[in-house]
Homo-oligomer: A and B are copies of this chain.
Amino acid sequence: MQLIFLGTSSGTPTRRRNVSGLALSLRGGRDWILVDCGEGTQHRLLRTPLSTQRLQAICISHVHGDHCYGLPGLLASAQLNGRTAPLSLIGPASLWDYLQGVIASTALHLDFPLHFLDVDRVPAGLEIGGFGISAWPLSHRVPSFAFRFVEASVPLRLLSGRLERDGIPRGPLWGALQRGESVQLPDGLCVDGADYTRPAWRARSVVVGGDNDCPDLLGEACSDADLLVHEATYDEEIRVRIGPEPMHSSAARVAAFAERRGLPHLVLTHFSPRYQKGGGRGLPLARLEQEARERYSGDLWLAEDYDCFELDRNGRLQHSNLLR
């Protein structure tokens, strides 16, 4: 399972960070899912292996510009590049209003079907691009949601010791049992694949939050999750100084939540442009990292643009950056 960060700034882009965008895919596949689509997301894609032709769904957490102003241009470019395959779009109802308005007023013609799904009514068992997808309401100035992505299909591994112990002959019968089927043995006995298999690994799951001032709302979504990606717009001191109105989280608040839930991996993103790596003319981003580390004992990352995280079948997270 692979995550590529296309933008990690909140509100406005900086020279180093674009506004929000995150690509999810299953390693080995070229299909992918986009979470949020700030202005310039399609520009970021030009420096990744991802193609808009293989994009399966776009999930928009909420309809603020830094999370959705790149959507019309990305769709227009997919059209100009010859896309014909349907595309799923999941987001708040106002997202559809926004997009329909833009399409009508700017003569944007799309030959491929857009399937819009209101994020408030995502059907149970929704599966796209190899992911089971569910949505979870958050707390922000406008309706905002997190998305939980679970690996939809994990192959079964045969329990060969048990098969041999029970004298089930090797060959086509083992194959049928591995596919989870029920089979009849030569002696007439019926056996069930479920008794002789188990998933080759635990299905991986990732939760990607939208803007949110209350991480605790994600308690259930994060149950058993491998990784949480969450905004940490400020450090706690700045959050208190600004006051609650913007309805964002501090790094401290998210880290404390992740610690309480025992989450193995936490990736913070969506940093106020006032923070800069190394400080520069702004505040040092290290302020966020420090207060998060003080509260969270798991595997912590502060995302940068083009960061690539691979969550392997054993739940280990590997980091690289596409530009380095």
Q: Which residues of A are interface residues toward B (Cβ below 8 A)?
A: 11-15, 18-19, 38-40, 42-43, 46-47, 63-66, 68-70, 72-73, 76-77, 80-81, 94, 97-98, 101-102, 105-108, 141-142
Contact A101 B105 (CB under 8 A): yes
A12-B81, A73-B69, A77-B12 given; A94·B98 CB < 8 A: no
Interface secondary structure of A, over-half rule? loop
A105-B101, A106-B63, A108-B65 given; A11·B72 CB < 8 A: no
Nearest CB in chain B: distance from A70 CB, A: 7
| Bound Cα distance from A109 to B107, whole angstroms | 25
| Bound Cα distance from A186 to B120, whole angstroms | 86
Which 8 pairs between the two chains have the least Cβ-Cβ distance? A101-B101, A98-B105, A39-B73, A12-B77, A69-B73, A65-B76, A97-B105, A40-B40
Contact A70 B39 (CB under 8 A): yes
| Bound Cα distance from A94 to B63, whole angstroms | 22
Contact B15 A64 (CB under 8 A): no
Q: Which residues from B are CB-within-8-Å of A47?
A: 15
Q: List 16 contacting pairs A-B, 8 Å CB cutoff, sorted by A.
A: A11-B80, A12-B76, A12-B77, A12-B80, A13-B42, A43-B43, A64-B107, A65-B72, A65-B76, A65-B106, A65-B108, A68-B106, A69-B106, A94-B105, A98-B102, A98-B106
Q: Which residues from B are CB-within-8-Å of A108?
A: 65
| Bound Cα distance from A43 to B50, whole angstroms | 21
Q: Which residues from B are CB-within-8-Å of A97?
A: 105
Contact A107 B40 (CB under 8 A): no
| Bound Cα distance from A102 to B68, whole angstroms | 11
Contact B15 A46 (CB under 8 A): yes
Nearest CB in chain B: distance from A14 CB, A: 7
Q: Which residues from B are CB-within-8-Å of A107?
A: 63-64, 141-142
| Bound Cα distance from A102 to B15, whole angstroms | 25
Nearest CB in chain B: distance from A123 CB, A: 25
| Bound Cα distance from A40 to B21, whole angstroms | 14
Nearest CB in chain B: distance from A93 CB, A: 10
Q: Which residue of B lies closest to A46 (CB)?
A: B15
Q: Which residues from B are CB-within-8-Å of A65?
A: 72-73, 76, 106, 108
Q: Which of A12, A63, A77 has the most CB of B within 10 A?
A: A12
10 other contacts beyond A12-B76, A63-B106, with CB at 8 A cut-off?
Answer: A12-B80, A13-B43, A39-B39, A39-B73, A40-B43, A63-B105, A64-B106, A101-B101, A101-B102, A102-B102
Nearest CB in chain B: distance from A38 CB, A: 8
| Bound Cα distance from A81 to B77, whole angstroms | 29
Q: Which residues from B are CB-within-8-Å of A80?
A: 11-12
